[in-house]
Amino acid sequence: MHLFITGATGFIGRHLCRALLAGAHTLTVLSRQPDARVRRICGDVAVIHDLAALTPDHRFDAVVNLAGEPIIGPRWSERRKRQLWDSRVTLTERLVAWIARAEIRPGVLISGSAVGYYGDQGDRLLDEDTPPATGGFGQRLCAAWEEAAIQAEEYGVRVCRLRTGPVLGHGGLLARMLPAFRLGLGGKLGRGEQWLPWIHIDDHVRISQFLLAEDHLSGPFNATAPNPVTNAEFTATLAKLLRRPAFCHVPAPALRLLLGEMAEILLGSQRAVPRRLLEAGFRFRFEHLEPALRDLLHGT
C-alpha cells in the first residue's frame, strides 16, 4: 500500500512509520522539518511540507492522520488553544478537502482522537457507544477533531477514529515521568482516583495496522488497553518496578494553579475500554500495566 501520514515525526507516528516500512509499504509523510531529518526519524519516506502541495492526481491507498501539537505543554492561553485547534481540527478539515478533490480517493482514513472525547466521567466504564459528558476545551477539541474526520465518509472513504489513551513507550508520557520517579519524587496527582486508560506503543501501532487490513471496520475505536488503572495504581506500579518511593503527592488545587485549564487532562477520569477492537478480534500483547512497564523499563 501507498500511505499518506501526518504527524509522522511524533512519538506515535515514528513508530508506525518504521512498522509500515518493515511491512514493505510505501510512505509519503507531511512534515515541516527538513527531509533529511524526517528520514532519520521515520525511515525511507517521501516528504511533503504543506498540504497545499497535494493535488487531485496524488494517489494514496490510505491516509493516517496523527498530526497535532502536544496537548501537554505551554499553558492554554487563547493563542495556544488556537495552535492546538489548527494542528488538529483545521488540518483535518484541509485533509478532507483534498480527499474531496482527489481523482482517486483513499480507501480509508485513520484519524487520531483521544479519550478526552468522553470528558470527565469518574468511575463510569466507557466504551465507544458512551456519549460524551459536557467538558472543557480538551473535550470540545476532540469532538470537533472527530467531526472533521467524519466528513470524509461523504466521499466514500472508510473512516476509523482512534480515541487514544496515554501511550507508554520510549518517549511520550513515560519519558517525562521517569526522571522524577527515579529520584524518588514521583507521586499521585490529585486524589489519584482518576482513571488512566493507558496503552503500550506496540499495541497502538498494531491497532493501526489491524484497521488498515480489516476493511469492514469503521467508526470510533478506543485505542486503550483492556485494563485501565487509576492514577494511584499507575504511580504505585511504576514506583515498585523502579524500587523507589512515590510520596510526592501533588494536590489538585496546586495542579490547577500551576497548569490552569490544562490540568483537566491530568485530573479528568476516563475509564475507557476497547470493546469494539476486542469484538473485532484484535488481541493485545499488553493487557495489564505491570508487564507493559516491565517491557519498557527493561534495559533503560
* 289 inside domain: no
Collapsed DSSP state (helix, strand, coil) of residue 272: strand
Measured CA to CA, the distance from residue 113 to residue 165 in angstroms comes to 9
In this prediction, residues 95-116 reach a mean pLDDT of 97
Residue-range definition of the domain harbouring residue 212: 2-167+199-225+273-284
Phi-psi region of 67 (alpha: psi -120 to 50; beta: other; left: phi over 0): beta
Beta strands in 78-218 (DSSP E): 108-114, 125-126, 158-164, 167-169, 171, 195-196, 199-200
In this prediction, residues 27-39 reach a mean pLDDT of 96
Taking 60 as the threshold, does the pLDDT of residue 48 lie above it? Answer: yes
Residue 233 dihedral angles phi and psi, to the nearest 5°: -65, -40
* 192 inside domain: no
In this prediction, residues 119-147 reach a mean pLDDT of 96
Taking 70 as the threshold, does the pLDDT of residue 151 lie above it? Answer: yes
* 250 inside domain: no
Taking 80 as the threshold, does the pLDDT of residue 224 lie above it? Answer: yes
Measured CA to CA, the distance from residue 177 to residue 184 in angstroms comes to 11
* 216 inside domain: yes
Read off the C-alpha cell for 87. 494542528
Q: How many CB atoms lie within 10 A of CB 210?
A: 18
Taking 90 as the threshold, does the pLDDT of residue 165 lie above it? Answer: yes
Taking 70 as the threshold, does the pLDDT of residue 60 lie above it? Answer: yes
* 94 inside domain: yes
Taking 60 as the threshold, does the pLDDT of residue 174 lie above it? Answer: yes
In this prediction, residues 158-171 reach a mean pLDDT of 96
Per-residue pLDDT tens digits for 250-264: 999 999 999 999 999
Give the chain's domain count: 1
* 128 inside domain: yes
Taking 90 as the threshold, does the pLDDT of residue 149 lie above it? Answer: yes
Q: How would residue 58 be classed by pLDDT, with cut points 50, 70 and 90? A: very high
String of b and e for 259-273 (b: at least 16 CB within 10 Å)? beebbbbbbbbbbbb
Q: How would residue 299 be classed by pLDDT, with cut points 50, 70 and 90? A: low
* 256 inside domain: no
pLDDT of residue 172: 83
Per-residue pLDDT tens digits for 267-290: 999 999 999 999 999 999 999 999
In this prediction, residues 118-128 reach a mean pLDDT of 97
pLDDT of residue 277: 98
pLDDT of residue 242: 95
In this prediction, residues 228-250 reach a mean pLDDT of 95
What CATH number does residue 159 fall under? Answer: 3.40.50.720
HSE at residue 75, side-chain half, CA atoms within 13 A, is: 8
Element (H, E) at 178: helix 172-182
Q: Which of 116, 173, 107, 183 is nearest to 145 (CA)?
A: 116
* 54 inside domain: yes
Query: If you average pLDDT over every residue of the chain, what do you get?
Result: 96
